[in-house]
Amino acid sequence: MNIKWRTQNVRNWVYVTGIGRSGTTFVGKVLSLPLSVDYIHEPFNPECGLPGMNRWDPYIRPSLDSPEEKAFHEQVKAIFTYDFELRTLVPKYDSHLKQTLKRMVGSRGPVCLALAKLNPFHQAAVLKAPIGLFLTEYMYLHFHVKPVIIIKHPVSVIASLRRVGWSPKPSQVLNQPHLLEDYFADDMDFVHRHWEDPVLAIADYWRIVHKVLLAQSKQYSSWQVITHEALSEKPIPMFQSLYHSLNLPWTPRIENKIRHFTEHKVRLPKETQIHSFARSSKDIFTTRLNSIPKETRQKIFDIVQDVALQVYPRDSFAID
């Protein structure tokens, strides 16, 4: 099959990113509901992405200053012709049956990519890339993707990460000299802080991520920056507006699907359940906020406030 034929009609590339547990999977799922929209799952993830991707949260300057950045760029080009493969991830927390099925047919990434390659109706594609947070500007300038940045309240992110046992560390991103030079040259006291408390380390990581993303998004008026809380409060109008801005086809079937995903009674996920789509969206934030003690919320606020207050009011932390 001619590789170019696979993507010659895909002219609309949507790039969904955000910190882990911010709702990027849900948003990517909803935006790719139309048959004409393909879904590409986490191509930059070291565990299940493109072969050769070996670091978390890479930062690439759009100017491609180093040989390593130029080599990375050549690899990324393949995404836009579908001339690439994704690795299968078989998590230990999966049931024995799920593990067996994934080893036989592949995990979400390879399966969705295979469907995309075979889709004769595709006109758009959603690249869901939470590990590509710091690649957003690069992807926008070089490949004309339409960024959709999902921001989730830091307290809610921390509560969600604690539930699934994930602990992203500031050190995993701050060992990139170009990132430090471009965004943290005046913030080195913060860069060199060390946190014994893993909750505060996640707060530090939240601040790092959003300091970069908010600074970039202010340069480009076409970028869609939306909060998880706004999506949860008014999912139908928010997604309808997002579909319109991204030039994706909105239909009554899609509206009904979103209602199904967001209007259920609150159901707490199992400890090993990473994603739970069918939930009461309006109740998610309150549930997460109340799971973190007030004194811990104050410490989180003290770390993130200069960045968080660009998006959230102080009273959203419920510390007064």
User: Average pLDDT of 110-132?
Assistant: 95
Among the listed residues 193, 242, 199, 205, the one whose alpha carbon sits nearest the alpha carbon of residue 28: 242
Whether the CA torsion 225, 214, 281, 168 is positive or negative: it is positive
Cα 78 to Cα 74: distance, rounded to the nearest angstrom: 7
Q: Which helix (H) or strand (E) holds 154?
A: helix 154-164
pLDDT of residue 119 exceeding 80, the answer is: yes
Residue 280's pLDDT band, with cuts at 50, 70 and 90, is very low
pLDDT of residue 275 exceeding 90, the answer is: no
Mean of the per-residue pLDDT values of the chain: 89
pLDDT tens string 148-195: 999 999 999 999 888 778 788 888 899 999 999 999 999 988 888 888
pLDDT of residue 303 exceeding 70, the answer is: yes
Q: What is the pLDDT of residue 7?
A: 77
For the ranges 4-18, 105-119, 141-155, 265-279, the maximum mean pLDDT occurs at 141-155
The strand order across the sheet containing 37-41 reads 37-41, 124-128, 12-18, 146-151, 224-227
Q: What is the pLDDT of residue 168?
A: 83
Cα 86 to Cα 13: distance, rounded to the nearest angstrom: 18
Residue 300's pLDDT band, with cuts at 50, 70 and 90, is very high
pLDDT tens string 24-75: 999 999 999 999 999 999 999 999 999 989 999 999 999 999 999 999 999 9
Q: What is the pLDDT of residue 211?
A: 97
Tokens, residue 35: 């048959």
- pTM here is 0.90
Among the listed residues 4, 42, 106, the one whose alpha carbon sits nearest the alpha carbon of residue 275: 42
CB 299 within 8 A of CB 200: yes
Cα 163 to Cα 186: distance, rounded to the nearest angstrom: 34
